[in-house]
Chains A and B, each alone.
Chain A
């Protein structure tokens, strides 16, 4: 039973570069969430999708961040251009439906130098 799959697990890149994080939700789950976790700010919801449609992106910090969900089995979170303050662990989660518990992926640890 595959869980939420994220790639890459670790990413180290220089500031100014484009970063793309990928997520494959659990099959059959209709909702997908992107979170960012830092020591200073804790766990922050960036955006979530229902049936591939972005519902609330109010947590996206600025225009450098964008997220897409072209189909039910794949989503990307892109940062362009990246900055050192974007360094964090980015989690993707999915859930079967409204108000149901979320299942988290292992996260992508992003370091921007």
Chain B
């Protein structure tokens, strides 16, 4: 069965600091990978996705993620965070042979201090 782990439960940064949130999954086959963001009191929104091709994926709001197949990782990065990036971030994996069954990680709460 698939599983997704996220390295940090809560990350606190100051504005302009660089961000990297870790995500690892367990599944040996072909996967689709996603990062979602949930702003306080709102629903989940897609930040970026990886299906195939260039392992460095660029998303909205200056976020990017790198798929490293050998490490089963899909870490999210942003060079300079803003206060408005305060949110919860979820990594999700869809193993293609499992059809529509997405597995979400436990989430990482990001707090950006002004």
Given known A43-B90, A43-B107, A99-B94, contact A104–B45 (CB-CB < 8 A): yes
Closest 6 CB pairs of A and B: A104-B43, A104-B44, A42-B106, A43-B104, A101-B46, A106-B43
Secondary structure at the B interface, as helix, strand, loop or mixed, is: strand
Is B77 close to A, CB under 8 A?
no
CA distance A103 to B44 in the complex (A): 8
Chain B contacts for A103, CB-based, 8 A: 46
Residue interface mask B48-60, A partner, CB < 8 A = 1: 0101000000000
With A43-B90, A43-B107, A101-B34 in contact, is A50–B45 under 8 Å at CB? no
Within the complex, the shortest CB–CB distance from B72 to chain A, in Å, comes to 18
Q: Chain A binding site: helix, strand, loop or mixed by DSSP?
A: strand
A91 to chain B: which residues have CB within 8 Å?
43-44
> In the docked arrangement, what's the CA distance between A104 and B36, Å?
10
B100 near A106 with CB under 8 A, answer: no
Q: Determine if B104 and A42 form an interchain contact, defined as CB atoms under 8 angstroms apart.
A: yes
Across-interface contacts of B96 in A (CB, < 8 A)? 99
CB-contacts of B57-110 with A (<8 A): 90, 94, 96, 99-107
Q: Does A105 belong to the interface (CB within 8 Å)?
A: yes
Given contacts A99-B32, A101-B34, A101-B49, contact A45 B102 (CB under 8 A): yes
CA distance A92 to B104 in the complex (A): 14
Q: Smallest Cβ distance from B107 to chain A, in angstroms?
A: 6
- A98 neighbours in B (Cβ, 8 Å): 99-100
* Residue among B49, B101, B103, B107 with max Cβ neighbours from chain A (10 Å): B101
A102 contacts B102, C-beta separation under 8 Å: yes
Q: Does A107 contact B (CB under 8 A)?
A: yes
- Point out the residue from A56, A93, A104, A107 that lies within 8 Å of B101, measured CB to CB: A56
Indicate with 1 or 0, residue by residue over A78-113, a CB within 8 angstroms of chain B CB atoms: 000000000000010101001101111111000000
Given A99-B32, A101-B49, A104-B44, also A42-B107 (CB < 8 A): yes
